[in-house]
Structure 1
Amino acid sequence: MKKIFVALVFACLLFAREIHPTHTLKTPFEVSSIQREKDLLYISTLGGEVLIYHLNQKKYRPSIKLPLLRDFFGNSYPPKIFNTASNSKNMLAIVSANAQGKRNLYLADGNHPSHPPTPLLTDLNIAKVLWLNEEQILIALLSHEILLYDLPRHQTLYQTQISQSSFSDMVLDSPFLFTTGESGVVYQIHPKNGKILKTLPIINKDKNFQIVANHHRIATAGQDRRVGVYFLDTGKDLSLRSDFLVYAVGLDAPTNTLAYLANEKGDIALVNLLSKKKTAMLTGLQGIANNIIFYKNNIIVSCDSPYIYFFNKGEL
C-alpha cells in the first residue's frame, strides 16, 4: 500500500475549534462499552445490566439484568459486562465475568428484557462477540483465537488461532473480519471459515486497543500514540500521531471524519481524511473515552465512567 504519514504536533490542538456536549447521559453504573444497532444504544455496565437507550426517543427501555454472582463468603454481587452485540432481531449476545475469574456468554431477548438470559458458553476467556448473521456468533478469546458458534446446532463450527499475541479487538467490514491485538498487526480473515487471508501493512508498532470500520475504511487506536487508517478500496493508508495513548477511535466515512482520543485531558480530535487537517476538538468529557460512535447528526462518546456524551456534528 502507498503510505501517507502525517505528524500532528501539539500546537495544532490550540487552533482546533472546541465543541462541547449538547447532551450528557448519566447512567446508574460505570460504562464498559457501548454498541449501536439501528436506533438503539446498548450500554454494557459494571453493574450487571445492559441498559438500552432509544436514541430518537431519548429515553431508556427496560434493561437486561444478568444473574448475580456469589463470592467465597456467600455475598452476592453483579457481574461485570464487557461487551454486548445485537442482531437485527434484537437478540443480544452478552459477555460477562463469572465468579471463577473467567467469562460467560449469555443470549438475551431485547424484545422481552424481563425474560432471564440464557447461558450459551461458560468458563471461557471471551473478549468480544459479534453477530455474523442471525444464527451465528463470532467469538474472540483473549488468546486471540476466533470461534464461530452456530445457535441452531449449539455447535462451534471452527476455532482458529490468529496470533500468539493477545487479542484486543475485532470488527466486521463485509465480507471480511478484521482483528488486531498486542502486536499491532491487523489481520484480514474470512469469517465463515476462519481462514487468515492476509495482514495489512504495519502502522502501529505496539498494542492496538481498538479497531473500527466504516464503508471499507479501517482505523486502529494504538498504544504507540498512533492512529492507523486503511482505505481498503484504494489500497492507501494513513498514519496520524497523537499526544496520548489512543484508547478509542471512530470513523464516519460519509463525511470523511476520523475521531480519536487526543490527549490526557480526554479530548477527542476530529480530522478530515481528505485534507488531513484537524477540524475540531470534542471537549468537556469526564474520563477516558472507550467508544466513539457516529450516528446521524451526533457523535456519541462513552467513557470509563457513568457518563455518555452527545456532540452535534452540525457544529463542525
Structure 2
Amino acid sequence: MTFIKAAIFLVLFLFTLNAKDINPSYTYLASGGITDLVIKNGKLYVATKASKVDIFDINTKEKISSITLPKIKDFMGDEINSKIYSVDVFEDSILILSQGSKGGRAIHLYKNSKLTEIISAKKRMFIARAKFINKSKIVFSLLSNELYLYDLENKKQLLETQISQSKFSNFVLSEDKKRIVIADESGILQMLDTDTLKILEVFKKQNLDNVFQVDLKNDIILTAGQDRRAAVFSIKEKTAYHKDATFLIYSAGLSPSGEIAGIASTENNEVKVFNTKTQRDLSMLKGNNTTLTNIVFINEKEVFVTSDDERINYYKID
C-alpha cells in the first residue's frame, strides 16, 4: 500500500513539474466587479456590479460601448447600482439579468439601442441565471432550483420544472443549445433536454458538496467545487475523475475542444490549466487579485480570466 501511495504521489509530482507560470499579456478594465462574461463575434460582453454591461472589441482591445441599467433602491430606500447577474447574446439581441429594487430580479432585452423589460422585479422571482435558447426562447433558473423556459415573442412561460430541493448554483448550455447541465449545492449534476426539460443523464460521485460553476464543451463537463475538487466527465466515453486543489474552486472553464481546462486552484487566485485527457498540468495563470468569477477560453491557446474586481486578464497559453 505504501508503494502504491508513493507511486501515485510521484505521478502527480511529474504532472505538475513542467507546469509553468504565465502572467497576463493584457488587462481590460471594466466599469466594476465582473459577474459574467460572453464572447461573441470578436466582442467581449462583460456583466458588472456597476449597473453596466461593457462591450469590448477583442482585436483592438478597446471598449466599444456600455449598456447602462437604471439605478435601484435598496431596502433602506437608498439609491445603489444594479448588479448584473448574467448576460447573453443572440444575433443582435442582448439578454440582461439584473438586480431590482428591494431584492427582486429583472430580465431585460437590449436591441436596436432600446432596453425592454421582459420580466419585472416586482414579480419577486429570484432569478439566478438567464440565457438564450434561440431568438425567441430563453431559459432561466431561480435560486430555489426551478428551471423555466420562456417565450419572448408571446411573453409567456412555456415549461417549468423543479430540478431538486438543493439551492441552485449554475447552469451551462451545450453549443447547439439542445442540452443544459445544472449544478447545485448537492454536488450532483443533471443534464436536461431544452425542448422538454426532461432529464437525459445524471452525473455524480465526483463532487461531495456545492458546485459553484459548471462548463460543457464537446461533450466534456467540468465543475468548480466547494470541496476543492474539479470534476471532469466525458459524456461519450462514460468516464469521470476529479482534480484536487488547495483552495475552494470558485471558477472553471473549458476550451472549445474540451481538451484544455482552467480551474481556480489556490488562495492567491491562480488558475491551473490542464489537459482533460491526460490530466497533465500545463500552466499556472497568475496576476488575479480577487476571487475568480469567470474562466472563458477564446480558443485552445487564449483565455480570459475575471475576478470580483474590474480587471479582465488575457492570457496566451503555450
Q: Provide TM-score, normalisation by structure 1.
A: 0.90
**Do 1:181 and 1:208's aligned partners in 2 also have CA atoms closer than 8 Å?**
yes
Contact 2:232/2:241 (8 A) holds in 1: yes
Q: CA deviation at 1:119?
A: 4.0
Q: Is the 8 A contact 1:10 1:243 kept in 2?
A: no
Aligned pairs for 1:42-191 (under 5 A) are 42-71=45-74, 75-87=78-90, 89-109=91-111, 112-113=112-113, 115-122=114-121, 123-173=124-174, 174=176, 175-191=178-194
Q: Secondary structure of the residue that 2:253 maps to in structure 1?
A: strand
Whole-angstrom CA distance in 2 between matches of 1:254 and 1:198: 21
Distance in 2 (alpha carbons) for counterparts of 1:199 and 1:35: 26
In the aligned structure 2, how far is the partner of 1:73 from the partner of 1:180? 33
The whole-number CA distance in structure 1 between the counterparts of 2:313 and 2:286 is 10
| Letter of the 1:158 counterpart | L
1:13 CA displacement:
5.4
- Work out whether residues 16 and 280 of structure 2, in 8 Å CA contact, stay in contact via their aligned partners in 1: no
Match of 2:266 in 1: 263
Query: 1 or 2 for the larger relative contact order (CA 8 Å, sep ≥6)?
Result: 1
CA RMSD of aligned residues (A): 2.0
Offset at residue 152 of structure 1 (A): 1.1
Give the CA deviation at 1:92: 1.4
- The residue that corresponds to 1:251 in the other structure is 254
SS at match of 2:257: helix
Q: CA deviation at 1:257?
A: 1.0
Deviation sequence 1:254-307 (CA, Å, 0-9, x none) = 372111011001111011123211111011111121100110342100101110
Question: Within 2, Cα distance between the matches of 1:282 and 1:14?
Answer: 15
What is the match of residue 4 of structure 2? Answer: none
Cross-structure match for 2:39: 36
State the Cα deviation string for residues 197-224 of structure 1 (Å, max 9, x = none). Answer: 3312321000000001111111011000
Distance in 1 (CA, whole Å) between partners of 2:297 and 2:273 is: 12
Quote the offset at 1:134 in angstroms: 1.0
Structure-1 residue corresponding to 2:312: 308
CA distance in 2, matches of 1:24, 1:14: 28
Moved more, 115-124 or 38-47: 115-124
Counterpart code for 1:186: L
DSSP 3-state at the match of 1:100: helix
Q: Distance in 1 between matches of 2:120 and 2:41?
A: 27
SS at match of 2:101: coil
**Normalised TM-score (structure 2):** 0.90
Q: Write the distance in 2 (CA, Å) between the matches of 1:148 and 1:255.
A: 27
What SS class does the counterpart of residue 219 from structure 1 fall into? Answer: strand
In structure 2, the residue corresponding to 1:254 is in which secondary structure? Answer: coil
Aligned length: 305
Deviations 1:141-176 (A, max 9, x none): 100010000011111001100000010011111421
Whole-Å Cα distance in 2 between the matches of residues 224 and 10 of structure 1? 21
Cα drift, residue 9 of structure 1: 6.3
| Contact 1:27/1:306 (8 A) holds in 2 | yes
The amino acid that maps onto 1:164 is Q
What is the percentage of aligned positions where both structures have the same residue?
Answer: 28
- Distance (Å, rounded) in 1 between the aligned partners of 2:75 and 2:304: 39
User: 115-124 or 293-302: which moved more?
Assistant: 115-124
Matched, 1:232 2:242: no
User: CA 1:74/1:238 → structure 2, altered by over 3 Å: closer, same or farther?
Assistant: closer
Q: Give structure 2 stretches of 5+ with no counterpart.
A: 1-7
The one-letter amino acid of 1:99's match is S
d(CA) in 2 for partners of 1:226 and 1:253? 22
**Deviates most, 269-278 or 129-138:** 269-278
Stretches of structure 1 that go unaligned for 5 or more consecutive residues are 1-5
Aligned to 2:5: none
Equivalent residue number for residue 276 of structure 2: 273
Structure 1 residues 178 and 255: CA distance shift in structure 2, 3 A: closer
